[in-house]
Structure 1
Amino acid sequence: MIRLPSLPACTARLAVAVVAGLLSLSAPTAQAEEIGSVDTVFKLLGPNHKIVIDAFDDPDIPGVACHISRARTGGIKGGLGLAEDTSDASIACRQVGPITLPANLKKRDGESIFSERRSLIFKKLQVVRFYDEKRNTLVYMSYSDRVIEGSPKNAISTVPVMPWAKP
């Protein structure tokens, strides 16, 4: 029998983080388009701290668009992509066209439809979709998570599925 040396706890956590990061790369998610931003703190070196607004369409449900705003850390670390952004985010989703719900939507509750890295490796912002069948409403939740410990900060937006008037 071959005996492998045990890994220190920090090495094991890093291995879990790397595997989780690689798995998240394969998940299909929406592509965001930057709508605009405002500076919140002036930084002499590197970009300023900002609040950024992006838009994306639900990749599985045509007729739904979401806008998400969140802080982006500037400075030298932010400019190099080494800073960890805060967990604060706000989301608003709306019906922008006719909605046709996929037949297997109920089976996909809590499906991640948008993901963005918020630090070099460990933290990401996610948007997940739920379907409230009783109210015929789509519910979108944004939150930040880390491989080891996430944040309870979150925001939701609801989209009632309504008939769409033809022009």
Structure 2
Amino acid sequence: MFASRLLCFIAIVVMCAAPLAAEEIGSVSTVFKALGPNDKIVVEAFDDPKVAGVTCYLSRAKTGGIKGGVGLAEDTSDASVACRQVGPIHIDGKLKDGEVVFKKDLSMDFKTMQVVRFHDRKRDVLVYLVYSDKIIDGSPKNSVSAVAIEKNWKP
């Protein structure tokens, strides 16, 4: 009974902690590891959950080796984001500035990488910011991308 409750609790926490899952597009090896997978840069894609027609592409470092192979390694804070309009834009509900649209755990000690969205209403542009919430050397690494909301979008 206790085990089933614990598993249910863990499932709820995981669902709440990760607003969206990303689809891996590809990766490249950067450092050879004799034991376990190589260090690599992974490219992932995810759709904005509240803005149909916008897809973000995220590149991030993924640590390999034995610890990386079993999920115990801490990934670096290096990440980049590029968001693009891929179809007609439809906003589902009210957008809150700074809303998390993607979140990924980078280590066992609660280090996460997040993508948040802002709406520049003056220019009618969506701005996406990726950053790590664990400060490295006093300055968090980050990257930004912007998508103009095209009224008459054509592929």
Question: What's the TM-score bracket when you normalise by the shorter of the two chains?
Answer: 0.7 to 0.9
1:164 & 1:138 partners in 2: Cα distance?
16
1:33 alignment counterpart = 23
2:153 & 2:73 partners in 1: Cα distance?
46
2:7 alignment counterpart = none
Q: 4+ runs of 1 displaced by more than 3 Å?
A: 22-25, 164-167
Aligned length: 142
**Contiguous gaps of at least 5 residues in structure 1:** 1-21
Q: Which has the higher strand share?
A: 2
**Contiguous gaps of at least 5 residues in structure 2:** 1-11
**Could you tell me whether the CA contact under 8 Å between 1:97 and 1:164 is conserved in 2?**
no
Q: Are residue 64 (structure 1) and residue 42 (structure 2) matched?
A: no
Q: Are residue 47 (structure 1) and residue 41 (structure 2) matched?
A: no
1:85 alignment counterpart = 75
Q: What amino acid does structure 2 have at the position aligned with 1:115? A: K
CA displacement 1:84-105 (0-9 Å, x = unmatched): 0100100000001111234522
Q: Alignment partner of 2:87: what SS?
A: coil
**Could you tell me whether the CA contact under 8 Å between 1:132 and 1:138 is conserved in 2?**
yes
1:160 alignment counterpart = 148
- Give the structure-1-normalised TM-score: 0.78
Which structure has the greater CA radius of gyration? 1
**Could you tell me whether the CA contact under 8 Å between 1:90 and 1:142 is conserved in 2?**
yes
Aligned-residue CA RMSD (Å): 1.9
C-alpha displacement of 1:121: 3.1
- Give the structure-2-normalised TM-score: 0.84
Identity of aligned residues (%): 60
The residue correspondences of 1:6-155 to structure 2 (distance < 5 A) are: 25-27=15-17, 29-105=19-95, 108-146=96-134, 149=135, 151-155=139-143
